[in-house]
Amino acid sequence: MVDLHCHILPGLDDGAEDMDDALEMCRIAHADGIHTIVATPHCKNGVYDNNETTILPVLHKLQEAVNQEGIPIRLIPSAEIHIHPELITFLEENQGLLLGGRYVALELPSQFVPPYAREFLFKMRLKGYTPIITHPERNSVVQANPEMFEEWVRGGVLVQVTAMSITGEFGNRVRKCALQMVRAGLVHLIATDAHLPHWRPPVLSKGRKVLEKLVGHRRAEAMVKDIPEKILKGEVVEEFPIAEPRYQEL
Ligand SMILES: [Fe+2]
């Protein structure tokens, strides 16, 4: 499996604190069946001022340590960027953080959706970038109105839900929204969004099991393997069919 969202780089954000944490997270991920981890430190102006210059050297250092320890994990550099209106300039200056030359993980605020978001996401698409919205199921506006993502997904935006949301570890409201969105064909992949070895660890298999029951083996596998791999290669990701009835109680 490929984990497309993981705060594994030590000292860059609220994820791994040191090299020992990061190596332990790699061991946990490997034991869970993950072979590739996309390192996505937060990029949020004034809070986590990360960019290529801060991220790439730490990634290379961690990959060296992982190789030395004999852990078969490949690390890919990227970021989880908090949505802001100057984002396109940031991407133009930090092309090394794009996945497959065009995909990038984008985080919404947790309590609201900025009024400029819709127009801005389409502007990003016109510029050749494909946003992957991270864990919308944890946003209170989306929880009340998951169907708002239909238009965004039809416009080419990808959606990542967190594995622990699917398993209910963020509570029932988050779980319900996550499963409704999966069922409605609005979710392209799940990822761990792991932060530490023992708090939000890099485990995908539990979420994958829940998905298998909900949407079947093939599609569950696509959401942890085929689609993340396409993203890493810069290939186009097809839409999932939309199930009827939509947004039923789960
Ligand atoms: Fe994250």
- Counted residue by residue, the chain has a size of 250
pLDDT at 123: 92
CA of 241 to the centre of ligand 1 (A): 27
pLDDT tens per residue, range 92-110: 999 999 999 999 999 999 8
Give percent of the chain above pLDDT 90.
90
CA of 6 to the centre of ligand 1 (A): 6
State how far the Cα of 99 lies from the Cα of 38, in Å rounded to an integer. 9
pLDDT > 60? residue 148:
yes
Domains of the chain, CATH where assigned = 2-233 (3.20.20.140)
CA of 140 to the centre of ligand 1 (A): 17
pLDDT > 80? residue 87:
yes
State how far the Cα of 79 lies from the Cα of 89, in Å rounded to an integer. 15
DSSP alpha helix (H) spans, the chain:
19-31, 52-69, 87-93, 117-126, 140-144, 148-154, 163-166, 172-183, 205-215, 217-221, 227-233
pLDDT > 90? residue 163:
yes
State how far the Cα of 109 lies from the Cα of 176, in Å rounded to an integer. 19
pLDDT tens per residue, range 35-82: 999 999 999 988 999 999 999 999 999 999 999 999 999 999 999 999
pLDDT: which is higher, 85 or 31: 31
CA of 154 to the centre of ligand 1 (A): 24
State how far the Cα of 195 lies from the Cα of 14, in Å rounded to an integer. 7
SS3 state of residue 116: coil
Residues 6+ apart with CB under 8 A from 238: none
Tell me which amino acid residue 209 is: K
Are the CB atoms for 75 and 59 separated by under 8 Å?
yes
CA of 40 to the centre of ligand 1 (A): 7
- 238 — pLDDT class (breaks 50, 70, 90): confident
pLDDT at 247: 54
CA of 170 to the centre of ligand 1 (A): 14
Which residues on adjacent β-strands are paired with residue 76? 38
State how far the Cα of 55 lies from the Cα of 159, in Å rounded to an integer. 24
pLDDT at 242: 62
pLDDT > 60? residue 179:
yes
CA of 17 to the centre of ligand 1 (A): 15
CA of 54 to the centre of ligand 1 (A): 17
